[in-house]
Structure 1
């Protein structure tokens, strides 16, 4: 059971998510996002609540011997260790060379990774990866929780030929310069599929060939409940040039690692070969297909799972889906 502090922190996070989603419905995504980014009081409190929730409650729950929860941070670190340090990327390179031969294209690039690995943590809040020597971290957030994180609206970030910082604000980041980009509990915060695609396309531009986009997104349902939505994510990212090389449905979240293929045609081949009729170029979350009731004055909190902390439309304040997304 969640303690009282956990419930209060979770409730505030939910209220912010729900307010943004409601604003998007009435104002449109661009205007709603701009309005949200300008609300410093909300962003400041959100950052404080998120840091407290993650550091005091989530990680301690994950470390409990009786917990079924998986630490999203540990999952990323463990997979990056296997992929980079233990050179797991070599088997994916070989597979890409095999496919390239079949489709008669020449691979002109090869993986060249930094030491330590350059990691861009988007929506970082408090920079959880700074304690790991294997990473050289650039942590960014709309409203940083501490000084180790720089301020940046990733959706408005310029990707170009240089790194441009203005005091503690990031204006531009050099393309093809990161070994890893992480979206940990980020995409469900962004209110529309179109804006989530913008974020993923920026990650693609920022990653080196062979680099990883690592995504975790909360879901406490069984593995099959939202499987078609997750398969659409895979299809959409493949169209961009990503190959999903690791997927795990943990108790409370989906954990995914996408490799930027050495040649985009290789990932696109998978998208064309395995596209199902229900798949479209979209990155939806289940809440995209729900109606929001007008009365949201009280938002109940799932006391059993940390995934409940991110249910933007909690049970009791959503209707049955009016559109079948599958």
Structure 2
């Protein structure tokens, strides 16, 4: 059970998210976001509270791997190590080559070169939790860093060009095709609209090397089927960008996903074309997008609350599911 400080910290973070979403509905997403990132007092408090919550309260419960929110960090680091150091990326490369050959697509892996320490861009890092892993070379970025190991920058608007430029502890520019890993750990639900979440993922695609990883974790305390259609829409949208999903796990309080940047984006687009279902659209929505007090949005919310069928689980790892979900 959460103690009083835990609840206070968590409630503040939730209030910031809610205020940003409400502001977006009133003044528009872009204006609301610019207003938000200019409010340094709120951002500073948010960073301090987030670091305190993660390092003091989440890590204290580390014995429960299913409900540990901070395990998003360990999951990402462990998967990255398996993928790069244990060279499982070779298997995914061979699969991509095979698909390309079957549909007459050219694949090029000349730039798919990885060496330890692996370059990781941690977006929305806050306090740089990945710095403890010696096999990672971390560049941590946040709107308002909690400490000096994190650089200030807005990933949604930072230029992506031919070099990474850092001045006065601020990210002025990021180099395209230069990172082995990009992490969005509890980030996308902070961003107030589908359009801006898509922009974040598109920027992630730009800075990643061919074969690089986009690792996403997002909180969700409901059972695996409750938001399965939203998660499928995420997969579809990222496939259209050129990402192939290579790992998905649903834990008690979060989804964890790994996407690989394809050498030829048409390989991923092919998957999206073959698996598109009527409800799928180019969008990255979260359940909170539908919790707005107006009739039009409530109708949309009801439209997404459909009965879960066994067929909905065909893309999900059955070995991780409780059989009670399938009754």
TM-score normalised by length of structure 2: 0.89
Structure 1 partner of 2:190? 189
Residue pairs, 1:191-230, within 5 angstroms: 191-230=192-231
Alpha-carbon spacing, 1:262–1:53, altered in 2? closer, same or farther (3 Å):
same
Alignment of 1:121-136 (within 5 A): 121-136=122-137
Seen in structure 2, the aligned counterparts of structure 1 residues 321 and 49 have a Cα distance that, compared at 3 Å, is: farther
Whole-angstrom distance in 2 between the partners of 1:43 and 1:269: 41
1:35-69 deviations in Å (ceiling 9; x for gaps): 000001100100000000001011221x2259743
Match of residue 260 from structure 2: 259
Equivalent residue number for residue 238 of structure 1: 239
SS in 2 for 1:236: helix
Q: Are 1:69 and 1:250, in contact at CA under 8 Å, matched by a contact in 2? A: no
Q: 1:10, CA displacement in angstroms?
A: 0.5
Q: Is the 8 A contact 1:100 1:106 kept in 2?
A: yes
The aligned counterpart of 2:77 is: 77
Q: Residues of 1 paired with 2:104 and 2:270: CA distance?
A: 12
Aligned length: 301
List aligned pairs for 1:1-326, cutoff 5 A: 1-61=1-61, 63-64=62-63, 68-69=67-68, 71-110=71-110, 111-292=112-293, 322-325=301-304
Q: Find the aligned partners of 1:14 and 1:236 in 2 and give their Cα distance.
A: 26
Contact in 2 for aligned 1:22/1:292 (Cα 8 Å): no
- Whether contact under 8 Å (2:66, 2:251) holds in the other structure is no
Asked whether the 8 Å contact 1:114–1:179 carries over to 2, the reply is no
Residues 67, 89 of structure 1: alpha-carbon distance in 2 compared, 3 angstrom cutoff = closer
Contact 2:246 2:260 in 1 (8 A): yes
- TM-score, normalised to structure 1, is 0.89
Contact 2:66 2:252 in 1 (8 A): no
Runs of 4+ off more than 6 Å: 318-321
Query: Would you say the 8 A contact 1:97–1:107 is kept in 2?
Result: yes
Say which structure, 1 or 2, has more relative contact order (CA 8 Å, 6+ apart).
1
Post-superposition offset of 1:321: 6.3
Contact kept, 8 Å, 2:151 with 2:170, in 1: the verdict is yes
Structure 1: distance between partners of 2:197 and 2:292: 20
* CA deviation string 1:108-163 (max 9, x = no partner): 22421132100000000000001110000000000000000000011111100111
Q: What's the CA shift for 1:246?
A: 0.1
8 A Cα contact 1:215 1:255, kept in partner: yes
Larger displacement relative to structure 2 (179-188 or 260-269): 260-269
Q: Offset of 1:8 from its aligned partner? A: 0.4
- For structure 2, the 5+ residue unaligned runs are 307-327
Q: Which runs of 5+ in 1 are unaligned?
A: 294-317
Give secondary structure in 2 for the equivalent of 1:154.
coil
Counterpart CA distance in 2 for 1:67 and 1:252 is 7
In 2, the alpha carbon distance for the partners of 1:321 and 1:57 equals 36
Q: Distance in 2 between matches of 1:86 and 1:235?
A: 28
1:320 is displaced (CA, Å) by: 8.7
**Contact preservation (8 Å) 2:82, 2:88:** yes
The CA deviation string for residues 274-317 of structure 1, in whole angstroms up to 9 with x for no partner, is: 11111000000011112249xxxxxxxxxxxxxxxxxxxxxxxx
